[in-house]
Structure 1
Amino acid sequence: MSFSTSIIDTMRRRQSIRTFDDNDLSAGDINKLTAYLNDESNLIGPFGARGRIDLVLVQKNVTDKGIKLGTYGFIKHPKAYLVGSSVNAKYPLIEYAYIFHRMTLFATQFGIGTCWMGGTFTRNSFEKEIQLYEDEFIPCVTPLGFPKEKQRVFDKALRFVVRADNKKPWEKLFYDETFAAPLQRDNAGSLEIPIEMVRLGPSASNKQPWRLVLSENRETCHFYIEHTPNYSKALGYQMQLLDMGIAMCQFELACDELGISGIWVIDEPGLERLNENIEYVVSWNQQ
């Protein structure tokens, strides 16, 4: 997979879009999206598993199968959806989100708007559109379309409620060697920009549950999640695990663009944690 523009610039400018204009996706746009999904290498996650994502075109929120897709009024005038499936387990969900987010960034670079949706859509309507294998479910979807120049008052109010434009500062998210010392941005070495891309990434309700600890030699970055107690409990899965897949995707794509090579490993460093809600996820080792 290759991006036609700077992926770092794309990550910086991406916003969640919930209201789309009347213009359909062009045949060229659909071909680009389809070609991306047909390339097996684009569907391989950081741990080597293959994800499944489908492109579903809609007219007035109705698919070519005649299925009306429900979003509780959150989305207006979508022209398509990306829909995928995963089993309900820690690392498959993280890997699924990594693959899914990479696809949304691919769409963003062509001016196509997206919006991660984990709880504000009717799963049973989307389940009728794609094939689900045993033990699979749909963790999230995103609408696709061209952003309407003037977003709804509802959209602006929602961004205000979830503080979508207010990202936590470095000292609340990133740590230096241990959780006892916040990481200063000017002390992050070559990983400053990849870590900043994690900070700017989208997350459910803008909770930003990722917590990163940078090693003394600045070559290993440990990824943790700080769970919000009972968040998404009613949905039956840990939605915030998707946020960790997003964080890993933002970090790795930024490293790739900057020519910083590394690998993902699951090797818990045994650090003393800030609280009982923090859980180790993965580490990135520079090579």
Structure 2
Amino acid sequence: MKTIQKRHSVRTYEERALSPQDRAALVAFMERLDNPFGVPVHEYILDRKVDTAGEKLGTYGVIKGASTFLGVSVPKNELAPLAAGYEFENLLLYATHLGLGTVWLAATFQREHFAASMGISKEELFPAISPVGYPAAKRSLAETLMRATMKSSVRKPWEELFFQEDFHTPLTTAEAGLYAQPLEMVRLAPSATNAQPWRVCKAGDLYHFYASYKPGLAEPEQLIKQVDLGIALSHFHQTALELGLAGAFVSVPQANRDLPDTMHYILSWKAGKEI
């Protein structure tokens, strides 16, 4: 939880390489990563120079000073975006634990070039990369403006994200009980353009997770929302594990639930004994 609260997006880095110790720690952690969805996810680490003058080596000038990048790919299937978001966020949280800076990049990088450099097949979903390195003492002007535009430090309030039984009744922290902290860590999760698309509806011992977006959204944008939900599920699950809360992710039919057309079911968490 402390790491989640500490994590923030970094786009401006000191112009120096990772120490051998930090790089080795990242590689070792990558080899241990897994996810609760049974999907094989692949992570990559690539040394590549991006100078402080804003050289557009694959990031359109968004990233300054970084010389190492992490990447994630996954075979295409229904749960692929969730698994990719979940595992890659766990990796970025570990980097935060090491004192390193990171930021999710989903659109502002040259996907084909990074895929070729990392050896990623065109048959796999390649949703994101992240620079990894030592945060600079001062943010670049471009980063400062970007954070202000996206309101990067702002998160939606509880009553807009978490609900009880239906989407008309907000869930209180008292009603969430032991799950108030996992849900708060969901609230703090990063997302593309800080859209915060996750919604959670508690029904008995089930926590239903949805992606909120208008019907007819283009498929690539839907995939980004699903990756965002994977990030949120990482925060929820890791916090539940830290607190010793037993449960499991399950898929629950939604036919009998009266859902707004903006709510797209993703997955549920069943609290209680491990399933």
Q: Shared fold (TM-score greater than 0.5)?
A: yes
Q: How does 1:175-214 map to 2 (within 5 A)?
A: 175-214=163-202
> Who is 1:241 aligned against?
226
Query: Are 1:119 and 1:235, in contact at CA under 8 Å, matched by a contact in 2?
Result: no
Query: Are 1:88 and 1:237, in contact at CA under 8 Å, matched by a contact in 2?
Result: no
Amino acid corresponding to residue 59 of structure 1 in structure 2:
K
> Who is 2:262 aligned against?
277
SS of corresponding position for 1:59: coil
> Who is 1:125 aligned against?
113
Q: Distance in 2 between matches of 1:247 and 1:209?
A: 10
**Residue 13 of structure 1: CA displacement?**
1.3
SS of corresponding position for 2:79: helix
Q: Distance in 2 between matches of 1:236 and 1:255?
A: 29
> Who is 1:38 aligned against?
31
Q: 2:210 aligns with which of 202, 224, 228?
A: 224
Q: Distance in 2 between matches of 1:94 and 1:260?
A: 21
Matched, 1:254 2:239: yes
- Percent identity, please: 32
Matched, 1:101 2:101: no
Q: Deviations over 1:17-57 (max 9, x none)?
A: 00001232111001101111223xx1x22211221011112
Query: Are 1:268 and 1:282, in contact at CA under 8 Å, matched by a contact in 2?
Result: no
SS of corresponding position for 1:224: strand
Relative to structure 2, which stretch is displaced further, 105-114 or 156-165? 156-165
Q: Distance in 1 between matches of 2:220 and 2:253?
A: 29
Q: Distance in 1 between matches of 2:106 and 2:123?
A: 18
Query: Are 2:161 and 2:198, in contact at CA under 8 Å, matched by a contact in 1?
Result: yes
- Please list every run of at least 4 consecutive aligned residues from structure 1 whose deviation after the TM superposition is greater than 6 angstroms: none
Q: Distance in 2 between matches of 1:138 and 1:103?
A: 16
Query: Are 2:75 and 2:125, in contact at CA under 8 Å, matched by a contact in 1?
Result: yes
Amino acid corresponding to residue 244 of structure 2 in structure 1:
G
Root-mean-square deviation (CA, aligned residues, Å) is 1.9
> Who is 2:46 aligned against?
56
Number of matched residues? 267
**Residue 236 of structure 1: CA displacement?**
6.9
Amino acid corresponding to residue 240 of structure 1 in structure 2:
K
Gaps spanning 5+ residues in structure 1: where? 1-7, 62-67
> Who is 1:85 aligned against?
73
Query: Are 1:179 and 1:213, in contact at CA under 8 Å, matched by a contact in 2?
Result: yes
Q: Distance in 1 between matches of 2:219 and 2:40?
A: 28
**Residue 180 of structure 1: CA displacement?**
2.1
Matched, 1:75 2:63: yes
Gaps spanning 5+ residues in structure 2: where? none
**Residue 79 of structure 1: CA displacement?**
2.4
SS of corresponding position for 1:272: coil
Q: Deviations over 1:164-221 (max 9, x none)?
A: 11111011110012222111123211000000000000011111110101123xx321
